[in-house]
Amino acid sequence: MICCKECIDLLYDYIEGLLDQETSKSLEEHFEECPPCIAFLNTYKSTTTICRDTLNQIEIPDEVRHTLQSFLKENKDQHEKK
Amino acid sequence: MSFTQQKENREIEEALVKDFQAGNLDAYDKIVELYQKRIYALSFNLMRNQMDAQDVAQEVLLTLFKKIHTFQGKSAFSSWVYRITLNSSYMKLRSKKKEPKISIDELLPSFNSTGFQQEKIQDWSENTESLLFTNETREIINKAVGLLPEKEKVVFLLRDVEGLSTEKVSEVLDLTIPAVKSRLHRARLFLRKKLSGYFEEYNSQKGET
């Protein structure tokens, strides 16, 4: 049976579905007998989700949007004058 | 996004770039509309500072305007934009005071000599829902991501936050696919460990009350 270290090394490929059937099966056998690794798998997956959901909330603040807009307008005007 | 939709978007984008290269300024405005949020968000997530992210966004949009003729279409236009954004953010970061580096290895999982986990692992994955959008949690997550070493952070932001494919990330950063995977895995392990402290404490407090 594979050990926890191997199991965690394989997590990435396991989640992405990149493991061959045999390796995938031995990983699942490990999970069946190792609750800490299941907890690890679940929290590993959760980490990605919650970080993504949090960092994706970033919007351009209105004042930044306005600054960018006038900056671009100025730049275009200069360009057109040339 | 479906594959056909992605393909359509790419075709629209390619047409915009061609129009802009031919001197059509309306096409530039559309490109700005398509990209400014992504440029701002990526630089903000790298630097965590509104003014700096604004400066970078300005610089990148200006570079797109001035250097569009140098874009030859060898890689995807979006890869080119991401690369300019990263270069510009790194220039900005370099001009600032460096924060002490933290070693990622100390936070990777540890095993005993037979390869079994040494620490007690709690499963907090079910209990994040109620905490997710509180300011405190946001702060903890931002801080944890901020602590990631540069190399791992950028891979994590492009792949897991921006949602680019592994192949695309390898194109933007000029890394091999195995290098992208290994950095991403290390980033996730690091963040998992950082967040575990917080969520485990929350769980145990909840258990007491």
| B112-144 tens-digit pLDDT | 888 888 788 888 888 777 666 688 888 899 999
Q: How confident is the model at residue B101 (pLDDT cuts 50, 70, 90)?
A: low
Question: What is the rounded distance in angstroms from the CA atom of residue B172 to the CA atom of residue B89?
Answer: 14
| Amino acid letter, A73 | K
Question: Which is nearest to B55 in space by CA: B96, B20, B13?
Answer: B96
Q: How far is CA B23 from CA A3, A70, B19, B27, B74, in A?
A: 61, 20, 7, 9, 20
- Taking 70 as the pLDDT cut, the residues of chain A under it are 82
**Cβ contact B154:B173 at 8 Å:** yes
Q: Do B57 and A64 count as a contact with CB atoms less than 8 A apart? A: yes
Does residue B197 register a pLDDT over 90? Answer: no
Q: Do A11 and B124 count as a contact with CB atoms less than 8 A apart? A: no
Which residue of B41, B181, B188 is in closest CB contact with A47? Answer: B188
B25-47 helix and B50-67 helix, angle to the nearest 10 degrees: 150
CB pairs under 8 A between A and B: 131
Task: Give me the mean pLDDT over the B84-97 stretch.
Answer: 89
Long-range contact list for B176-180, CB < 8 A, 24+ apart? Answer: B180/B155
pLDDT of residue B207: 61
> Between vectors from CA B81 to CA B77 and to CA B83, what angle results, nearest 5°?
115
Question: Which is nearest to B86 in space by CA: B96, B74, B76, B78?
Answer: B78
Q: How confident is the model at residue B110 (pLDDT cuts 50, 70, 90)?
A: confident
Most confident among A65-74, B37-46, B190-199 (mean pLDDT): B37-46
Does residue B199 register a pLDDT over 90? Answer: no
Percent of chain B with pLDDT over 90: 59
How many angstroms separate the CA of residue A5 from the nearest CA in chain B?
Answer: 5
* Mutation target vs B (from A55, A58, A70, A77; most B CBs, 10 A cutoff): A55
Which residue of B28, B115, B123 is in closest CB contact with A6? Answer: B115
Inform me whether the C-beta atom of residue A53 falls under 8 Å from chain B C-beta atoms.
yes
Inform me whether the C-beta atom of residue A50 falls under 8 Å from chain B C-beta atoms.
yes
**Cβ contact B197:B137 at 8 Å:** no
Inform me whether the C-beta atom of residue A5 falls under 8 Å from chain B C-beta atoms.
yes
ipTM score: 0.89
Q: How confident is the model at residue B97 (pLDDT cuts 50, 70, 90)?
A: low
How many angstroms separate the CA of residue B64 from the nearest CA in chain A?
Answer: 11
pLDDT of residue A21: 95
Q: Do B195 and A50 count as a contact with CB atoms less than 8 A apart? A: yes
* Mutation target vs A (from B24, B66, B123, B183; most A CBs, 10 A cutoff): B123
Inform me whether the C-beta atom of residue A72 falls under 8 Å from chain B C-beta atoms.
yes
CA nearest B137 in A: which residue? A54
Question: What is the rounded distance in angstroms from the CA atom of residue B168 to the CA atom of residue B46?
Answer: 19
